[in-house]
Amino acid sequence: MPRKRSIIAAAPMAEILRMNGAERVSDKAAVAFSEVLMDIAMTIAKDAVKFSHHAGRKTIKKEDIDLARKSV
């Protein structure tokens, strides 16, 4: 079964790792990092939606993201 492609590209993930001291980054490491960040992003997004709905809004605001981020 083909692997589901992440919407977070691996190349920028490799760049982030290099910016933090990595001399070289394998393709598999960049993809793994992308998957981890996608999981975190999905959790924050779900929580931000809950916070906005709880506040009676349809629009996600920065405050919702900030609050959701604190729970991760």
- pLDDT surpasses 80 at 38: yes
Amino acid of residue 31: V
Positive or negative, the CA dihedral 6, 7, 9, 12 is negative
Average pLDDT over residues 36-42: 95
For the domain made up of 10-70, give the CATH fold.
Histone, subunit A (1.10.20)
The predicted model scores a pTM of 0.83
The pLDDT, as a whole number, for residue 5 is 67
Domain boundaries, the chain: 10-70
72 confidence band (pLDDT: 50, 70, 90): confident
What does pLDDT average to over the chain?
93
